Amino acid sequence: MKSFLQHIVFQVIAESSASLNQESYVIGGFVRDLFLERPSKDIDVVTVGSGVDLALAVAEKMGGLKVNVFKNFGTAMVKVKDGDGWLELEFVGARKESYRSDSRNPIVEQGSREDDQNRRDFTINALALSLNAENFGELIDPFHGLDDMHARIIRTPLSPDITFSDDPLRMMRAIRFATQLNFVIVDEAFEAIKRNVERIRIISAERITDEMTKIIMSPKPSIGFDLLYKSGLLQEILPEMVALAGTEMKEGRGHKDNFYHTLEVLDNVAAASDNQWLRWSAVFHDIAKPVTKRWDNDHGWTFHNHDFLGAKMTPAIFKRMKLPLGDTLKYVQKMVAFHLRPQVLSESIVTDSAVRRLLFDAGDDVDDLMTLCEADITSKNQRKKERFLHNFALVRQKLVEVEEKDKVRNWQPPVDGDMIMKTFNITPSPVVGVIKLAIREAILDGIIPNQFEEAYRFMIEKAIELNLTPVNNLLDN
């Protein structure tokens, strides 16, 4: 429900609107969420007149608040401090808008409150609350959006073909709202999405990916991905994921549908973590299975190296979808590349050496990796599933024990390249790398402890094998 501050803000907007002789309304998501009893800090105000003038008047009346004006869009934003956060008030003049068939940019014209409600994407987002003196607080609901909320359906105010063709991103938004709210898209609208699916090509990758991320961050993201797939939108956006769909039988042996397996994994991760990049990792974890699929007479269907190749495929998909590169990409690649490692450990005797290597390779992300691997267990055989999860619990326990003892998470060997070169008076060369690798492997294999003196002695021994003579031996001092 509205907070006391929101009530005061609405009174100020009403008074400022009256002083400008403009009609004003709160419209869209805030009103929807008010009836759904969902928290919302973003308030869209539509006024029949200048949105910028109204924002300036409201800001002045509230003590000279800062106004951010976006001239290209004819909008203005005012932020009001609300406890630890902010209310974001966005003001815009009522308008009509439409899209050309070959453009992402709308043709915008001034309009009435009715025009502004007509251009809204869905009936549940076309609700308006009056901020005018004669009917302050009255709900204006020309398309019966409140009834649709009670019925838990997504429906367009006008013809869905017009709605989706005008702004094709609305197809993604329909699926996003259906996922977030657990609503159903009415058949007429869903069929229109199927008919207009190619129109999504005029929308920028950034806007599409933003909607996909909101789907991924929903409580049960599989709802959205299933709708994206069945509508045909996923084929346009992420064909590599669509290639996972389906099963194939040969000689009486089949493999699971890796698309729906991926959705199960994604839901499992979503239930365990709010980390959006771990959820994206779930989307990508089996992405290379279609290209690595082979038939083996002894073992049936195989997907050898799909973990390694999946990590190699990820950068190109990230670039195409305008997902962030740098550390974020490296994190997802790591999750994809290593997602089978804990499973291999769980199926055999867990040695300290294997655990050290996992800790070394995964670093601070090892707990996320374990969450992904546990989520990857989707067997319908409950006893098998319980056995795997029990074994993963043992791996987690071993990770803690080895880390406490050996401290190899995000570890660097105690002897570095500079020390090797100074000890043997040599310049940078491949032999330095050989010695560094030998030290690292010896510690990870448990041949020597993760301590300086032992690593230094091992360096001397290894270098002598390579016909190097120490000219500075720190242990002799």
Give the per-residue pLDDT at 347: 65
Q: Between 448 and 410, whose confidence is greater?
A: 448
pLDDT in tens, 413-472: 788 888 888 888 888 888 888 888 888 888 888 888 888 888 888 888 888 888 888 877
Provide the b/e sequence for 411-422 (b: ≥16 CB within 10 Å).
bebbbeeebbbe
Question: How many of the other CB atoms lie within 10 Å of CB of 336?
Answer: 28
Region 271-278: mean pLDDT is: 97
User: The tokens of 7 are what?
Assistant: 């009530």
Strands (E), 176-239: 184-185
Give the per-residue pLDDT at 415: 83
Residue with tokens 């009435």: 112
User: What is the distance between the alpha carbons of residues 86 and 377, in angstroms, rounded to a whole number?
Assistant: 41
Query: Does residue 266 register a pLDDT over 90?
Result: yes
DSSP 123: G
Give the per-residue pLDDT at 1: 47
Region 114-129: mean pLDDT is: 91
Q: Is 1 helix (H, G, I), strand (E, B) or coil?
A: coil
* CB of 373 closer than 8 Å to CB of 269: no
What pTM did the predictor assign?
0.84
Query: Does residue 99 register a pLDDT over 60?
Result: no
Query: Does residue 35 register a pLDDT over 60?
Result: yes
Binned at pLDDT 50, 70 and 90, residue 324 comes out as: very high
Residue with tokens 């007149």: 49
Query: Does residue 391 register a pLDDT over 90?
Result: no
Q: Where are the domains of the chain?
A: 1-143, 152-237, 240-406, 417-476
Q: Is 66 exposed, middle or buried (CB count within 10 Å of its CB: 0-12, 13-18, 19+)?
A: exposed
Query: Does residue 104 register a pLDDT over 60?
Result: no
Look at 101-105, 156-160, 182-186, 336-340 and tell me which has the smallest mean pLDDT: 101-105
Domain 152-237, CATH 1.10.110.30 — does that match?
yes
Phi and psi, residue 100, nearest 5°: -75, 160
User: What is the distance between the alpha carbons of residues 172 and 197, in angstroms, rounded to a whole number?
Assistant: 10
What percent of the chain stands above pLDDT 90? 52
pLDDT in tens, 181-234: 999 999 999 999 999 999 999 999 999 999 999 999 999 999 999 999 999 999
For the chain, the average pLDDT equals 88
CATH number assigned to the domain with residue range 1-143, chosen from the 4 options 3.40.50.300, 3.30.70.20, 3.30.460.10, 3.30.70.580? 3.30.460.10
User: What is the distance between the alpha carbons of residues 58 and 89, in angstroms, rounded to a whole number?
Assistant: 10
